């Protein structure tokens, strides 16, 4: 046997020994049986009062009679009546607004009137209705004859599908409104569960629509019990409870829209109900900046807004209150305007106050919600302005 054959034989014998050792050291185990994934069954709860009963998913927020927090979107759709009960998943609530909701409302039914007349009156002021014919017409709800009106309304870049079911019972009218934001995937199953389980009780409690209360005349729209006081070495003012105060330089205080008009922050206030992505969408801030020698207020303002315009073009806002004002006995100039960053719009209000060779800027910025909420916020801001003491 030549050397090459001996070498080949040695390699083969070595491989055989290694394979034998490997087989002895490896223990084969059976393939484990996969564990089937667990399926979480959503918990179903039951609601009942003197008016209705229905099933709903756990986690859904319930709104009771007349709850002012049941603020539905689109804002411009107001059909009257009084809220009896409302539902919304927290995922559909943004900035205290319900973008998809289910509500039961009670309407007065004056003697001699018809359901058709009540409906015509309710929809008379609704703008831009696009009726869904295949979703409108006579229906049955809880064994009762009813009429369903389905329509779409554009608000911002989205269309909203609104479904109202009108029922006449025991001399009164009930309206079940199912309003859905586009792409609200989880909404329809909840609506179907609600409708299929809805029971409208017999012997309904009497209903009298409450008149809108007259406002109480007072120096300010807010009693002292709703106000707190802030004071530091630079300013002092009153403000509404519920706002959170931030000192200058606090990294937790970030506001939107994200541009500034110059100067250093003295103090800021944010509304915790209007936050997202670690930013405040409703805020009041007081800035301070020196007046450069030879400058004037008009020139400083023009330059500040010119720079801001490159990021957020300014448009006319709903407030429309630009012009001279007085703050703490000092002449000042107020500028009001609107900017967009997608939807919704932002209503901005800046008050420029000159004191000697210094400028103070009070910036009152908010995401726009609806007329009533906006008016309440501006009234709260006015409390701060009217009490502001620049030291």
What's the pLDDT score for residue 92?
77
Report the DSSP pairing between strands 52-57 and 44-48. antiparallel
| Residue 79, phi-psi category: left (phi > 0), alpha (psi -120 to 50), beta (remainder) | alpha
Least confident of 67-71, 90-94, 125-129, 367-371: 125-129
When pLDDT is averaged across residues 134-145 and rounded to a whole number, the result is 94
> Is the pLDDT at 133 greater than 80, yes or no?
yes
Under 8 Å between Cβ of 263 and 292? no
Q: Which DSSP category does 318 fall into? A: S
Task: For strands 82-88 and 264-270, give the pairing.
Answer: unpaired
> How many degrees, rounded to 5, is the angle at CA 344 between CA 338 and CA 345?
0
pLDDT of residue 274: 87
- Rounded Cα–Cα distance for residues 388 and 391 (Å): 9
pLDDT digits (tens, 9 = 90+) for 215-239: 444 445 677 778 899 999 999 999 9
For the chain, count helices (H), then strands (E): 5, 25
Task: Report the alpha-carbon distance of residue 116 to residue 190 in Å, rounded.
Answer: 29
The full 3-state SS of 56-70, as one line of letters, equals EECCCEEECCCCCCC
Dist CA 27 CA 7 (whole Å): 32
Phi, psi (deg, nearest 5) at residue 37: -65, 145
Confirm if 390 and 236 have CB atoms less than 8 A apart.
no
Looking at residues 69-98, what average pLDDT do you find?
A: 81
Q: Give the burial string for 70-102 (b: 16+ CB within 10 Å, else e).
A: bbbbbbebebebebbbbbbbeebbbbebbbbbb
What pLDDT, on a 0 to 100 scale, did the predictor assign at position 259?
87
pTM of the complete model? 0.50
Domains of the chain in start order, with CATH, are 44-200 (3.40.1000.10), 224-390 (3.40.1000.10)
Of 31-45, 210-224, 263-277, 319-333, least confident by mean pLDDT is 210-224
Grouping H, G, I as helix, E, B as strand and the rest as coil, residue 279 is strand
Tell me what pLDDT residue 260 has: 84
Burial of 137 (0-12, 13-18, 19+ CB in 10 A): exposed
Q: In this model, does residue 15 exceed pLDDT 60?
A: no
User: Given this model, what pLDDT does residue 23 score?
Assistant: 45
Partnered with residue 390 across adjacent β-strands are 235
Give the Cβ contact number of residue 274 at 10 Å: 19
Residue 129 makes CB contacts below 8 A (sequence gap 6+) with: 123, 151, 152, 153
| Max avg pLDDT among 58-72, 94-108, 199-213, 345-359 | 345-359
Strand order across the beta sheet in which 235-240 lies: 227-231, 235-240, 389-390
Question: How far, in Å, CA of 146 to CA of 169, rounded?
Answer: 10
Is-contact 258 363, C-beta < 8 A?
Answer: no
Lowest mean pLDDT among 81-85, 136-140, 334-338: 81-85
pLDDT at 38: 54
How large is the average pLDDT for residues 107-132?
86
Percent of the chain with pLDDT over 90: 45
Whose tokens are 């603020």? That residue is 71
Residue 54: strand, helix, or coil = strand
């Amino acid at each position: 046997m030549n050397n090459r054959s001996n070498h080949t034989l040695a390699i083969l014998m070595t491989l055989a020994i290694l394979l034998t050792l490997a087989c002895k050291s490896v223990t084969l185990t059976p393939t484990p049986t996969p564990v089937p994934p667990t399926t979480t069954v959503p918990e179903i709860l039951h609601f009942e009062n003197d008016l209705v009963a229905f099933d709903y998913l756990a986690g859904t927020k319930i709104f009771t009679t007349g709850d002012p927090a049941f603020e539905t979107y689109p804002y411009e759709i107001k059909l009257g009546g009084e809220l009896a009960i409302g539902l919304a998943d927290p995922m559909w609530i943004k900035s205290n607004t319900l973008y998809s909701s289910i509500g039961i409302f009670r309407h007065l039914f004056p003697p001699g009137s018809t359901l058709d007349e009540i409906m015509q009156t309710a929809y008379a002021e609704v703008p831009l209705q696009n009726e869904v014919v295949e979703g409108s017409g006579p229906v049955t709800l809880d064994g009762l004859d009813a009429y369903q009106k389905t329509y779409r309304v554009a608000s911002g870049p989205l269309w909203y599908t609104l479904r109202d079911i009108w029922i006449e019972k025991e001399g009164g009218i009930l309206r079940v409104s199912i309003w859905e934001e586009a792409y609200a995937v989880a909404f329809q199953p909840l609506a179907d569960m609600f409708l299929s389980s809805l029971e409208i009780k017999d012997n309904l409690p009497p209903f009298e629509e409450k008149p809108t209360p007259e406002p109480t005349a007072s120096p300010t729209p807010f009693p002292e019990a709703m106000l707190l006081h802030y004071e530091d070495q630079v300013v002092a003012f009153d403000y509404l409870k519920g706002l959170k105060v931030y000192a200058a330089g606090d990294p937790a205080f970030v506001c939107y829209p994200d541009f500034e008009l110059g100067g250093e922050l003295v103090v800021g206030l944010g509304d915790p109900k209007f936050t997202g992505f670690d930013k405040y969408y409703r805020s009041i801030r007081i800035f301070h900046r020196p007046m450069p020698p030879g400058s004037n207020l008009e020139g400083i303002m023009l330059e500040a807004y010119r720079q801001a315009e490159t990021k957020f073009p300014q448009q006319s806002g709903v407030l429309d209150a630009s012009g001279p004002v007085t703050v703490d006995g000092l002449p000042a100039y107020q500028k009001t305007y609107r900017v967009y960053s997608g939807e919704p719009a932002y209503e901005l209000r800046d008050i420029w106050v000159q004191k000697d060779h210094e400028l103070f800027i009070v910036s009152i910025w908010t995401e726009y919600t609806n007329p009533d909420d906006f008016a309440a916020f501006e009234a709260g801001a006015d409390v701060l302005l009217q009490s502001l003491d620049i030291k």
